[in-house]
């Protein structure tokens, strides 16, 4: 397995994910959940589509460890725990991609993650956001698994977004910005008169 196709537990306690396609990135400005008006609920976030054949055993082990720590063994079969792993086939917008990307994870944070270049040698600035950070670009995340309990939402495990490494460019997807030059062909000046 290549380092890009497997998840790694880091010395920091964070987990570096395998390479995947980034969706819905809000890495420089926090995003509000749909229908939410409380600005304190705004979070930095991104979703990662995980390619088939990737080794995500480290993420799965971290999930199981948190469940084991927080749910007594006698109650594990009857306690519903929300998983951070989403089946792509269950997501209407992405179901057709499920064969190539069977899993996806949504990651959030209250603080701004560092976003670094493919070589990891410098931080990407907010001024570069439009060209560098978009849905569809390949990336790796560093995440920290955590347990949560909500009065109405139940119990679960989520991945807190720590940092992002941008990798290869690719076709924009899921609301990723498309360049105008990709959508408009040149028009002869004489043709413009016909448009008046």
Q: Is the pLDDT of residue 94 over 90?
A: yes
Residue 196 has pLDDT above 60, yes or no: no
Q: Which fold has domain 3-194?
A: OB fold (Dihydrolipoamide Acetyltransferase, E2P) (2.40.50)
Q: What is the pLDDT of residue 191?
A: 59
DSSP assignment letter at 94: T
Is the backbone of residue 136 left (phi > 0), alpha (psi -120 to 50) or beta? left
Predicted confidence (pLDDT) per residue in 145-166, tens digit = 999 998 888 999 999 999 999 9
38 has a pLDDT exceeding 90: no
Residue 83's φ and ψ, nearest 5 degrees, are -90, 150
Quote the pLDDT of residue 15: 98
Q: What is the pTM of this model?
A: 0.85
* pLDDT of the residue at 2: 78
Helices assigned H by DSSP within the chain: 57-70, 129-132, 189-194
Paired sense of beta strands 103-109 and 85-87, if any: antiparallel
Inter-residue contact 22 to 139 (CB < 8 Å): yes
- Identify the DSSP state of 55: B
Query: Band of the pLDDT at 176, cuts 50, 70, 90?
Result: low
Instruction: Please tell me the predicted confidence (pLDDT) of residue 41.
Output: 83
Query: Which tokens hold the place of 104?
Result: 């996806």
Residue 31 pLDDT more than 80? yes
Confidence of residue 188 (pLDDT cuts 50, 70, 90): low
**Around Cβ 195, how many Cβ atoms within 10 Å?**
6
The structural domains of the chain, with segments of one domain joined by +, span 3-194
């Amino acid at each position: 397995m290549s380092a890009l196709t497997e998840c790694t537990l880091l010395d920091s306690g964070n987990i570096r994910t395998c390479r995947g396609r980034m969706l819905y990135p809000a890495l420089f400005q926090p995003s509000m959940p749909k229908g939410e008006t409380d600005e304190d609920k705004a979070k930095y976030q991104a979703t990662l589509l995980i390619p088939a054949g990737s080794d995500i055993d480290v993420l799965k082990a971290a999930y199981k460890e948190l469940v084991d720590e927080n749910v007594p063994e006698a109650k594990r079969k009857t306690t519903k725990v929300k998983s951070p792993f989403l089946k792509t086939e269950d997501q209407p917008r992405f179901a057709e991609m499920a064969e190539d990307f069977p899993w996806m994870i949504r990651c959030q944070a209250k603080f701004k993650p560092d976003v670094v270049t493919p070589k990891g040698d410098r931080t990407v600035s907010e001024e570069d956001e439009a060209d560098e950070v978009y849905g569809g670009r390949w990336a790796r995340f560093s995440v920290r698994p955590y347990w949560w309990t909500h009065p109405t939402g139940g119990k679960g495990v989520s991945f807190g977004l720590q940092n992002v490494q941008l990798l290869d460019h690719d076709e924009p997807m899921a609301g990723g910005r498309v360049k105008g030059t990709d959508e408009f062909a040149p028009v002869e000046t004489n043709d413009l008169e016909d448009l008046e």
